[in-house]
Amino acid sequence: MPREIPVALTTQSWGGVPYYESSARRNVNVANVFEDVLRQIIRQRSVAEENGRRERESRKASRRGRGCVIL
């Protein structure tokens, strides 16, 4: 398969998923792919945690100023 086909797929229909060329048999680019995937996972977790923190702060801020309710 020509290299242009998978590269085109990653940028178009798969939403910018990275394209890796590697060979486990020849140990070519295996460590780099593994490290990059781990970096992406860590980055996504950091973004998710930051978004969660912002959402919690936003909810706290919206609750302030409502006053006390006694039932």
For the chain, the residue count is: 71
Whole-number percent of the chain with pLDDT over 70? 76
Q: What band does 15 get if pLDDT is binned at 50, 70 and 90?
A: low
> pTM of the predicted model, to two decimals?
0.58
Per residue, the 3-state secondary structure of 40-63, as one string, reads HHHHHHHHHHHHHHHHHHHHHHHH
* Domains of the chain, residue spans: 4-56
CB 19 within 8 Å of CB 6 = yes
pLDDT at 26: 95
Instruction: Give the side-chain half-sphere CA count within 13 A for 56.
Output: 6
Note the pLDDT tens digit of each residue in 20-53: 889 999 999 999 999 999 998 999 999 999 999 9
